[in-house]
Amino acid sequence: MASVSPTTLVTLLRVLIPFALAYFLSYLFRVVNAIIAPNLAADLNIGPADLGLLTSAYFVSFAAFQLPLGVMLDRFGPRRVEAGLLAFAAAGALMFGMAGSLPGLFVGRALIGLGVSAGYMAAIKAYTLWFPPHLWPRINGLHLAAGGFGALSATLPVEFALTFTDWRGVFIGLSILSTIVAAAIFGCVPEQRQEAGQIRLNDALRGIGQVFTSPLFWRVTPLTVTSQVAFMSIQGLWAGPWLRDVAGMDRAGIAGVLFWTAAAMTAGYVVIGFITERLSRSGIKPLTTAVWGMFLFMVVQALIMVGPVRWATTLWMLFGFIGTTGVIPYPALAMSFPSQLAGRVSTGLNVLVFIAAFAAQWGIGAVIALFPLTAAGNYAVQGYQASIATLLCMQALCLVWYVLAGRPRR
């Protein structure tokens, strides 16, 4: 960033690094259960439906806090809100690591989801407060990359950690790390600049109503939600068991494939963002790029469902890379609304994505549980196929809706 002044560079380090670490934690917490799933299931003697419900508790609390989060960020500022929420994540991770029952684990997982719910929105608020608009795309790219590194850290590094501790020790360590990051945000990030005016609650609610009654919002949202839900619910939990039960991999092999999936996802955020920008300059709208990308993502899911097992590593890397196209509609949709509603467009979309991710991650487990275990005690291949087929049907219906809703009325 040669054009950045020394003063801006110091501020960049004081703001970007702490918030990027928070987003790193958010993604690590989101996907870590894909690695520890066998340990959880064995230690707690729970089936796939309970495993899905437990892991998805992260999504339901994350989603529930999105709408009040926007008001809190405007009122108290990103520094205080993010630091305070990460304290809940630390408490939740500690509770998860020490709980001896499924309800205790569920509450701990829900507290984690609440605690990291501001990982992206608080950072965006901070970046818009402290940096000029021409730096936002680069800063946002670095921030998203931090999330990718969080997903990477939830694979081979966690598998390595499990060689000298158990999953409980991993979560206690994550609790300590969350506390350190919360303290760094509170102690290092400068106090926010005074804004010209605060958004009143009534105005905020009125803006949310405008978003949720927009035909454009409801044309784009269903496909975006179903695509992101497939990506998040599978990567965050069920990819690991699939690699064990369908591909027949051992723990080291599973961790390796999940590592490369996360690496492909990190690359996807950067490369697909670049491709979208270049295509936009050529006259191809970002939403058009997103829709084609989400269609290709459906093709990848279909190949995972029925393709040869020997393609597993390649297919899961494609899953991670192309699955990132589901985030393109966030800025593309926000830019289609007045600037004062942009934040509420993204927040509204986020609420729907994470509520649906909660239902899907649990639902996949419930579908898998309908099929008897194999002789080796693993989940049946047919259960995974039925789950992915269900997700694909929903995405296909939403793709048809997107096309039909865009046709001019006579």
Distant-in-sequence, close-in-space partners of 197: CB < 8 Å, separation ≥ 6: none
State CA 115 to chain mean position distance: 14
What CATH number has the domain spanning 1-198? 1.20.1250.20
Residue 6, classified by CB atoms within 10 Å of its CB into exposed (0-12), middle (13-18) or buried (19+), is: exposed
Task: Give the residue extent of every domain in the chain.
Answer: 1-198, 207-410
What CA–CA distances, in Å, run from 133 to 192, 245, 390?
17, 48, 42
| pLDDT at site 1 | 46
The confidence score (pLDDT) of residue 4 equals 52
pLDDT in tens, 117-150: 999 888 878 887 777 766 665 677 788 889 989 9
The pLDDT, as a whole number, for residue 124 is 79
pLDDT value of residue 195 = 47
Residue 196 confidence (pLDDT) above 50: no
The pTM of this model reads: 0.84
Listed in sequence order, the residues at least 6 apart from 83 whose beta carbon sits closer than 8 Å to its beta carbon are: 182, 183, 185, 186
Tracing tokens 């309800």 back to the chain, one arrives at 103
Residue 330's pLDDT band, with cuts at 50, 70 and 90, is confident
Decide: 171 and 97 in contact? Cβ < 8 Å.
yes
Q: Which residues contact 120 (CB under 8 A, 6 or more apart)?
A: 23, 26, 143, 147
Q: Is the pLDDT of residue 2 over 60?
A: no
Same fold, 1-198 and 207-410: yes
pLDDT greater than 90 at residue 347: no
What local confidence, expressed as pLDDT, does residue 137 receive? 57
Average pLDDT over residues 104-129: 90
280 has a pLDDT exceeding 50 = yes
Q: What mean pLDDT value characterizes the chain?
A: 88
Q: Which of 95-99, 173-177, 331-335 has the lowest mean pLDDT?
A: 331-335
- Tens of pLDDT along 202-249? 666 677 788 888 999 999 999 999 999 999 999 988 999 999 999 999
- Mean pLDDT lowest for which of 164-173, 193-202, 318-327, 373-382? 193-202
pLDDT in tens, 152-165: 999 999 999 999 99
Angle formed by the axes of helices 342-369 and 66-76, nearest 10°: 150
The CATH superfamily label for domain 207-410 reads MFS general substrate transporter like domains (1.20.1250.20)
